[in-house]
C-alpha cells in the first residue's frame, strides 16, 4: 500500500464511504488526505455534482476555503436554495428536513467565506421565513389547480428559479425531490431547465407525471383536451424516456365518462400516432380482463365497459361475451323489457345472439339471476340444437339442463342453481343422475402419490374452494367460438393468441417474434382495472421512504373488485346438502370431493352441525366421515383436514364408505375396485362388517367391578370371566384400529420405495420424505389413542397410583398399584 502511486490511492479513497480509518494507517495516507484537491474531488466523485456541496458541508472539519474554491471551479452545483437552507440551519432560524448538525460543524470563518462566495454568485439572497426558493416552489404546486388569475406564483417565476438561481433539490431526503416531477406534469416546459441543473427523471416517476397531466381538471378550470395533448407532446419531445405507458392509458380509459377531457386527449394522441401502441388493442385487452372479475357486476363499471366498447368495437369473442354479460346483468337490475333489450343488443352490434351465447352468459360466475336471459332466449334465439328442432319449452329446458350441468363444477354458482331448481322442478332429478353418473370417485381412479412427487396438482371437479384457488376455467376456448364455425379452424384462436399492435413505430415496420413483442409489452407497462384518480391518490399518500410502506395503506384501491367470485356467493355444496339432505348419495359425492380438495369452508358446513342434545353431540344434519376418505387421501399423500379429526374425536360413527349409512332408495352403486388395503386381513376377514348392510350402532357394555386383591385367585377368576364375555368395540376404537392398519400399509409402501431407490445406482441420490398423509396420520393417531385412553379410564374408573409407600427391598420403583372402585 505504501508503494502505491497517488493516482491509484486517490481512486481507493473515492470508493470508501468513510476514508477516516484509512488515513490513520500511516503518516503517508494522513498527509495525502490533507490535500484540498483530494478532499474536494472525493465529494464530487463519490456523491456527484448535485450533492457534492451538501455532503461537504456535512463534514465541516474537512471543509476549508480552498476546498470550497476547488468544488465550485470543478463543477459542483450550488443553488440559491441550498444557500438559503444552509443559512437557516446555521443560525437556527427555521426547522427543515435536516435533523443532523450538518452545516453547524463548519468553522465560522469557513462559513463566512461560503456566504461571500454565495453573495458573489447570486447577489442579495432572500432570507426571510417563507421567502426561500423551496417555499415558492411548494406554493406553485399547491396553486396548480387554481385559475390563472388566482395564482400568486406563476410558472415564469419557477422558470426563473431554475434558469437564474439553479433551483433543484439537493438531497434525496428533501421532500421537494418527490414533488419535483409534479411541476413537470403541470408545466412540461420546465423540463429543459431542470435537466440543465442536473435533474434526471427516474422511470418510477414517469407514470406519476403523466397521471397528473391527464388528471380530471376542476370545474372552474379552462383546461381543454388540446392543451393536455399538446403538453404531453412537448414533454415527450424533450426527453425520449418520457412516453405514455399502457398502464396510464388504461387508467384514463377507466375514467372515460368521469374524465371526458383526459379521455378525449388520449384519443387525440392515438389518432395522431403519438402513442407507442394502438388504443383499440389496449381497450380490447382491458375489456377482456373483466370476464373473470367481480367488477363486471358493478353498475358504474358496466357503464364504462359499454362506453369503451361503443368507441372501440371489437370482434374478439371474449370482449363480446363481456358486453353480453354486462347487458343482461343490467337488464335484470333495471327490469328492462324485452323490446328495450333487443334494441340495446342491436345498438351495441353484438347480435345475433345464439344458444351458446345464452349458455356462456348464464354460467358466468357473476350472473346470479336468469329471468331476463331465459326470456330473451325463449323469444329471440333460434331454437335449434344439434340439427334438432325443439318446442319452446323443450328448448328452454335443454338450455337450463346444460347450464345446470356446467354450474355443478363452478362452486360459487349456488344462487343461480337454487333459483333454476325452483323454477324448473325436474332439474333436481337431472342433477342427481348426472352427479351419480359422472362424479363418483374410487380409490383406483386417483393418481398415486409416488407418481406425483414432482407435480401434486390433482383436484376433484366438485367442491373447489373458490376463495383460495378461484373458480377454475369457466369459459374455455371452444365454448367462446361461434356455433357455426368448427373449433379446429386455426383462424379463430383469438382468445389465446390475440396479437396486440404495440409500439406502432416498430412493430408496424418489422414483424418481430412473440418474445420480442412480449418484451415491448413489458416495457410499455401492464394494465389494470384501477382508475386514474385512484392511482393519483395512491401516489400522493405513498410515503417517500420505501421502508415505511408496509405500515401504511396505499389508498382506495378497488381490491374487492378484482375478486374471482361474486360478492355474496352461495357454495354449490351448501345447496346440495340443503336440497338432497345429509344422508344422500349426491351429498356423499360432494363430501368426497370436498375432502380431496381440502375445502375447509364446506367441511365445516358438512361436519360442524353440532347439537348438544343429540347423540355424541352430532346433529341429524351431520354428513358422515368414512374410512374411504382416508383411503383416497392416502392414495394422494395429502393431509386430512382438521375438521375430519375433530369429527372423529367428537364421536363420529365408523363407516367403511357411504354405502354403510345410505338407505336402499338413494344408495350409490359403485363398481368394485382394487383398494389400497386389499392385503389387509381385517378388511378381508369374514368377521368384518358387510358393505351392503347398515351396521347397528355399537355401545360399550357397562360392567360392575368390586375390590379385589392383586394377584389373588379372585382376580384370576374375574379376568377369565371378562375374557369370555363379548366386548363391543366403540366407534373411536374402530377408527383407531383401521387407521392403524392403513398407516402400517402406507409406511410399508414408503419403506419399500426408499429401499428400491437406495439400491438403484445413481450419482445423485434422491431422498424421498414421508408424505403428508403418513406424517399427519402418525401424529393424530397418537392423539386419538390418548383420547380413547382417557375415555376408557373415565368409564371404568381406573386410577393409577405411583406412590412408593412399600418397602424398597421387595418392590421395584417401576411397580404400579391398581385400585378398582365400584361404578
Nearest to 159 by CA among 193, 121, 112: 193
The rounded distance, in Å, linking the Cα atoms of 577 and 344 is 40
Could you write out the three-class secondary structure of 144-183? Answer: CCCCHHHCCCCHHHHHHHHHCCCCCCCCCCCHHHHHHHHH
**Angstrom distances, CA of residue 684 to CA of 631, 681, 691, 694, 733:** 16, 5, 11, 18, 19
Q: Enumerate residues 6+ apart whose C-beta is below 8 A from 222.
A: 147
Give 239: exposed, middle or buried? Use CB within 10 Å, 0-12, 13-18, 19+: middle
Q: So what's the pLDDT on residue 518?
A: 52
**Average pLDDT of the chain, as a whole number:** 78
Neighbour count for residue 192 (Cβ, 10 Å)? 14
3-state helix, strand, coil in the chain (%, to 5): 55, 0, 40
pLDDT band at 440 (very low <50, low <70, confident <90, very high): very high
Return the residue matching grid coordinates 443560525: 91
- In the predicted model, is pLDDT for residue 277 greater than 70? yes
More confident residue, 205 or 527: 527
The rounded distance, in Å, linking the Cα atoms of 201 and 155 is 19
Task: Summarize pLDDT for 559-568 with one digit per residue, the tens.
Answer: 777 788 888 8
User: Does residue 325 contact residue 366 with C-beta atoms inside 8 Å?
Assistant: yes
Paired with 384 in beta bridges are 389
The rounded distance, in Å, linking the Cα atoms of 538 and 404 is 43
Geometric angle at alpha carbon 209, from 207 and 213, rounded to 5°: 110
Q: So what's the pLDDT on residue 290?
A: 93
- In the predicted model, is pLDDT for residue 4 greater than 70? no
- The helix/strand/coil state of 81 is helix
Percentage of the chain lying above the pLDDT 70 cut: 76
pLDDT band at 2 (very low <50, low <70, confident <90, very high): low
The rounded distance, in Å, linking the Cα atoms of 99 and 102 is 8
Could you write out the three-class secondary structure of 57-79? Answer: HHCHHHCCHHHHHHHHHCCCCCC
More confident residue, 719 or 371: 371
Average pLDDT in the 469-475 region?
76
Q: So what's the pLDDT on residue 493?
A: 37
Instruction: Give the sign of the dihedral formed by CA 118, CA 119, CA 122, CA 127.
Output: positive
Q: So what's the pLDDT on residue 406?
A: 92
More confident residue, 677 or 155: 155
Question: How far, in whole angstroms, is CA 684 from its chain's centroid?
Answer: 48
- The helix/strand/coil state of 502 is strand
The rounded distance, in Å, linking the Cα atoms of 413 and 363 is 8
Return the residue matching grid coordinates 376408557: 792
Task: Summarize pLDDT for 259-271 with one digit per residue, the tens.
Answer: 999 999 999 999 9
Return the residue matching grid coordinates 387525440: 268
User: Does residue 629 contact residue 644 with C-beta atoms inside 8 Å?
Assistant: yes
The rounded distance, in Å, linking the Cα atoms of 625 and 99 is 66
- Sketch the domain layout of the chain as residue ranges: 279-407, 713-820
pLDDT band at 205 (very low <50, low <70, confident <90, very high): confident
**Angstrom distances, CA of residue 205 to CA of 146, 180, 243, 297:** 23, 10, 12, 33
Q: How many residues does the chain have?
A: 823
More confident residue, 143 or 506: 143
- In the predicted model, is pLDDT for residue 382 greater than 70? no
Task: Summarize pLDDT for 218-258 with one digit per residue, the tens.
Answer: 776 777 889 889 888 888 887 777 889 999 999 999 999 99
Nearest to 141 by CA among 107, 178, 102: 178
Task: Summarize pLDDT for 44-67 with one digit per residue, the tens.
Answer: 999 999 999 999 999 888 899 999
Nearest to 493 by CA among 476, 474, 508, 507: 476
Task: Summarize pLDDT for 136-180 with one digit per residue, the tens.
Answer: 999 998 888 777 788 888 889 999 999 999 999 988 888 888 788
Amino acid at each position: 500500500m505504501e508503494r502505491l502511486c497517488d493516482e491509484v490511492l486517490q481512486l481507493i479513497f473515492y470508493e470508501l464511504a468513510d476514508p477516516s480509518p484509512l488515513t490513520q494507517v500511516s503518516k503517508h495516507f494522513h498527509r495525502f488526505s490533507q490535500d484540498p484537491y483530494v478532499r474536494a474531488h472525493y465529494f464530487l466523485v463519490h456523491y456527484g455534482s448535485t450533492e457534492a456541496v451538501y455532503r461537504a458541508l456535512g463534514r465541516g472539519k474537512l471543509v476549508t476555503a480552498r476546498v470550497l474554491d476547488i468544488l465550485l471551479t470543478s463543477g459542483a452545483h450550488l443553488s440559491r436554495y441550498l444557500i438559503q437552507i444552509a443559512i437557516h440551519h446555521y443560525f437556527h432560524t427555521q426547522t427543515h428536513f435536516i435533523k443532523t448538525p450538518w452545516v453547524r460543524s463548519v468553522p465560522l470563518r469557513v462559513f463566512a467565506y461560503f456566504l461571500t462566495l454565495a453573495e458573489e454568485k447570486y447577489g442579495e439572497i432572500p432570507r426571510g421565513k417563507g421567502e426561500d426558493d423551496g417555499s415558492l416552489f411548494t406554493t406553485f404546486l399547491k396553486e396548480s389547480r387554481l385559475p390563472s388569475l388566482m395564482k400568486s406564483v406563476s410558472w415564469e417565476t419557477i422558470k426563473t428559479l431554475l434558469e437564474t438561481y439553479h433551483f433543484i433539490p439537493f438531497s434525496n431526503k428533501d421532500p421537494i425531490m418527490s414533488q419535483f416531477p409534479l411541476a413537470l406534469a403541470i408545466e412540461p416546459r420546465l423540463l429543459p431547465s431542470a435537466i440543465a441543473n442536473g435533474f434526471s427523471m427516474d422511470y418510477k416517476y414517469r407514470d406519476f407525471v403523466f397521471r397528473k397531466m391527464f388528471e380530471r381538471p376542476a370545474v372552474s378550470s379552462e383546461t381543454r383536451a388540446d392543451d393536455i395533448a399538446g403538453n404531453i407532446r412537448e414533454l415527450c419531445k424533450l426527453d425520449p424516456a418520457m412516453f405514455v405507458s399502457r398502464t396510464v392509458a388504461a387508467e384514463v380509459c377507466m375514467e372515460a365518462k368521469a374524465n371526458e377531457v383526459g379521455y378525449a386527449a388520449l384519443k387525440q394522441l392515438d389518432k395522431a400516432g403519438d402513442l407507442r401502441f394502438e388504443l383499440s388493442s389496449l381497450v380490447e385487452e382491458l375489456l377482456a380482463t373483466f370476464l373473470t372479475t367481480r367488477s363486471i357486476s358493478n353498475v358504474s363499471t358496466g357503464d364504462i365497459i359499454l362506453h369503451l366498447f361503443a368507441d372501440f368495437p371489437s370482434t374478439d369473442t371474449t370482449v363480446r361475451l363481456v358486453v353480453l354479460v354486462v347487458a343482461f346483468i343490467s337488464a335484470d337490475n333495471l327490469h328492462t323489457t324485452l323490446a328495450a333489450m333487443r334494441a340495446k343488443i342491436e345498438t351495441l352490434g353484438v347480435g345475433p345472439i345464439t344458444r351458446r351465447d345464452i349458455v356462456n352468459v348464464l354460467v358466468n360466475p357473476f350472473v346470479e339471476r336468469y329471468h331476463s336471459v331465459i326470456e330473451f332466449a325463449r323469444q329471440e334465439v333460434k331454437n335449434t340444437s344439434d340439427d334438432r328442432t325443439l318446442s319452446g319449452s323443450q328448448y328452454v329446458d335443454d338450455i337450463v339442463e346444460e347450464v345446470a350441468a356446467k354450474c355443478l363444477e363452478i362452486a360459487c354458482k349456488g344462487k343461480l342453481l337454487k333459483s333454476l331448481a325452483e323454477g324448473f322442478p325436474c332439474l333436481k332429478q337431472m342433477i342427481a343422475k348426472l352427479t351419480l353418473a359422472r362424479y363418483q370417485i374410487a380409490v383406483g381412479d386417483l393418481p398415486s402419490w409416488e407418481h406425483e412427487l414432482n407435480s401434486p396438482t390433482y383436484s376433484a371437479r366438485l367442491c373447489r374452494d373458490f376463495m383460495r384457488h378461484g373458480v377454475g376455467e369457466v369459459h374455455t376456448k371452444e365454448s367462446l367460438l361461434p356455433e357455426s364455425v368448427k373449433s379446429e379452424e386455426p383462424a379463430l384462436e383469438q382468445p389465446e393468441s390475440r396479437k396486440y399492435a404495440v409500439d406502432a413505430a416498430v412493430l408496424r415496420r418489422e414483424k418481430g417474434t412473440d418474445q420480442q413483442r412480449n418484451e415491448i409489452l413489458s416495457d410499455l407497462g401492464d394494465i389494470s382495472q384501477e382508475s386514474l384518480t385512484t392511482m393519483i391518490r395512491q401516489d400522493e399518500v405513498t410515503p417517500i421512504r420505501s421502508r415505511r410502506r408496509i405500515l401504511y395503506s396505499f389508498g382506495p384501491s378497488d381490491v374487492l373488485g378484482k375478486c374471482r367470485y361474486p360478492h355474496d356467493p352461495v357454495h354449490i355444496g351448501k345447496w346440495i346438502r340443503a336440497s338432497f339432505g345429509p344422508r344422500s348419495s349426491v351429498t356423499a359425492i360432494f363430501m368426497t370431493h370436498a375432502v380431496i380438495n381440502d375445502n375447509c369452508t364446506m367441511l365445516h358446513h358438512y361436519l360442524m352441525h353440532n347439537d348438544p342434545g343429540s347423540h355424541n353431540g352430532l346433529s341429524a344434519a351431520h354428513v358422515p366421515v368414512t374410512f374411504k376418505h382416508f383411503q383416497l387421501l392416502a392414495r394422494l399423500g395429502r393431509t386430512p383436514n382438521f375438521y375430519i379429526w375433530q369429527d372423529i374425536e367428537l364421536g363420529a360413527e365408523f363407516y367403511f364408505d357411504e354405502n354403510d349409512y345410505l338407505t336402499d332408495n338413494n344408495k350409490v352403486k359403485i363398481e368394485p375396485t382394487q383398494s389400497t388395503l386389499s392385503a389387509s386381513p381385517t378388511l378381508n376377514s369374514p368377521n368384518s362388517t358387510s358393505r351392503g348392510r347398515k351396521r347397528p350402532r355399537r355401545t360399550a357394555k357397562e360392567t360392575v367391578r368390586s375390590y379385589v386383591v392383586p394377584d389373588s385367585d379372585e382376580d384370576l377368576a374375574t379376568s377369565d370371566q371378562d375374557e369370555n364375555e363379548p366386548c363391543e368395540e366403540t366407534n373411536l376404537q374402530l377408527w383407531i384400529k383401521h387407521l392403524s392398519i392403513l398407516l402400517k400399509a402406507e409406511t410399508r409402501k414408503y419403506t419399500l420405495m426408499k429401499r428400491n431407490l437406495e439400491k438403484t445406482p445413481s450419482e445423485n441420490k434422491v431422498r424421498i420424505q414421508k408424505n403428508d398423509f403418513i406424517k399427519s396420520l402418525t401424529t393424530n393417531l397418537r392423539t386419538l389413542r390418548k383420547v380413547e385412553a382417557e375415555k376408557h379410564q373415565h368409564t371404568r374408573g381406573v386410577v393409577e397410583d405411583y406412590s412408593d409407600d412399600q418397602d424398597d427391598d421387595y418392590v421395584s420403583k417401576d411397580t404400579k398399584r391398581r385400585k378398582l372402585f365400584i361404578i
